[in-house]
Chain A
Amino acid sequence: MENYNMEKLNFERPIIRKINTGISNKFGMKTEFEPIKHIDNVGVKGLAAEYGSPVFVLSEKTMRRTFNDAKRAFDTRYPKVQFSWSYKTNYLNAVCNVFHSEGSWAEVVSRFEYDKAIANGVPGNKIIFNGPDKTDDDLNTAIKNDSFIHIDHFDELYKLIELAPKHHKKPKVAIRVNMDTGIYPMWDRFGFNYENGEAWEAISKIIISNKLEFTGLHTHIGTFILSASAYAIAASKLAELAVRIKLKFHKDISYIDMGGGFASSNTLKGSYLMGIDTSPSFDDYAEAITTALINSDIDPDNMPLLILETGRALIDDAGSLIGSVVANKKLSDGRKATIMDFGVNLLFTSFWYDHKITPAQDFSHHSETTTLYGPLCMNIDQIRESISLPPLKRGDLVVVSKVGAYNMTQWMQFIMMRPKVVLIDKKGEVHIIRHNETREFVESLEEVPLHLKKAKDVNGNKHKHNGKPVEIDSKN
């Protein structure tokens, strides 16, 4: 019977579509013309069969290739470059260690991430500690480990000046600077503002206090920045601060940290063109940043180390989500809808991307417009309002491409549990790097007070006797 099935033809759901003549639809571009049957030569069908659907799949080969593309773009233009892996983008330890093995430091924004970096073997003096919320204990730990503390606000600055004398060494600090780079929205909630003089005030305070070692300047101008020139403005402004520090305090800063925010090749919602055509390349960003620094008035013999904290652009392409069709539906107004087994719980980035979604099996050139919903019993669980896909049927597999960034950190354990994450290594071997959650795992942090334990435990065989549900006494 199995063999017989093998010879049968692939079944595509029958569809009929009205032909509308007239001006062609500028949004009518078909998602994909070829199915994605393999990821790094590993069969998609086999991956789903072995690890379940949905399942996140990461390509180590793509991660390393993308990293080296980025590194090459900067290394060929600037003498001293250091990448620092942005933990929040994807802090699965296997992923972090791919980037650490390529030479990346760790860029963390919480104690949780800080401790993860230490546990991953990153030396304290190769950890950059960003973020607005660092407790006294966090700061003391970072000082002890010689980590770079990027100060976000004056309260933190004064706290560091207070904590420093207990350590018999000067904490290594930088300030985060926010500024107008001509892009909207301007991220002014983090760090000290350049234009209103706050950044200079913070720098002066640090240096004059003589209790902290002022090491560098940091900025992070925003996220998914589609204009490389904004980075040129940011780099120029940081360079101006560096020159002013040299003039006034006769001090060379060790580094300029340009943060992250480089766009990946995903397509933003509402964008007319595909992301692959609009997102700047690593070369574009590198050219803008390094030209601004090299052309600045910084002493060419004392150029600061250039640190980059790009996350999204390094990992997005390496991640795929394999999922399957749960059902097809017709909405009240006749529109088609397709329910998938993954939703916004797993694909947080679907709030701002129109992901590339491709069937994993052969299909004809016919397509239909449908709305993609996730499996959650929640109205907001919509992955795509309108997408043109071949007719899919229950059980058909799809591959959502470029989901490596943020989804595996911002995912929600809401209604459903999180699925497995697997990594395909350079040799094509598949490794589970995060197991799927189980009810026991999710409930392992819960405690149920005795009086709220299962009714039958509390009331013994009373429950069995009368066969009626036993009321739980909430007054106990």
Chain B
Amino acid sequence: MKINKKIAISESGFVFNPTTGDSYSLNPIAAEILDMLKKDLSEDEITDALLEKYDVTASVLHRSIDEFIDTLKEMKILENE
């Protein structure tokens, strides 16, 4: 699972896909996750980092990350290796 190399991600949570011309906005946590994915952190590592930082239960976090990653795949921002 890797971020599509052509995708441009700004620090302010703005995503641009030059292939389709689509732009996306991210909320701060989504931007944080995408940043970690960019740094090749695994899903487990991302989960651990967020659990440490945020007031959230593991089940809610897992569910949220899974859903988010599915959405990224649907949008072709994430690709299976």
A interface, CB within 8 angstroms of B:
5, 8-19, 21, 328, 330, 364, 366, 391, 393-395
Contacts and interface: CB of A to CB of B under 8 A. Distances in A.
Nearest to B29: A14
Given A328-B67, A393-B60, A393-B64, A15 B27 contact: yes
B60 A395 contact: yes
A10 B54 contact: yes
Contacts of A9: 53-55
The A contact surface, by secondary structure, is loop
Contact of B29 (A8, A11, A19, A328): A11
A243 B48 CA distance: 81
A364 B13 CA distance: 12
Given A16-B68, A364-B28, A11 B33 contact: no
The B contact surface, by secondary structure, is helix
A90 B71 CA distance: 45
Interface of B: 15, 22-30, 32-33, 50, 53-56, 60-61, 63-65, 67-68, 71-72, 75, 77
A366 to B, nearest CB: 4
Contacts of B30: 14-16
B53 A19 contact: no
B65 A14 contact: yes
Given A328-B67, A393-B60, A15 B55 contact: no
23 contacts: A8-B53, A9-B55, A10-B55, A11-B50, A11-B54, A11-B56, A11-B64, A13-B29, A14-B29, A14-B32, A14-B33, A14-B65, A15-B26, A15-B30, A17-B26, A19-B22, A19-B24, A21-B23, A364-B27, A364-B28, A366-B25, A366-B27, A394-B63
A16 B71 contact: yes
B63 to A, nearest CB: 8
A366 B27 CA distance: 6
B15 A16 contact: yes
A8 B30 CA distance: 17
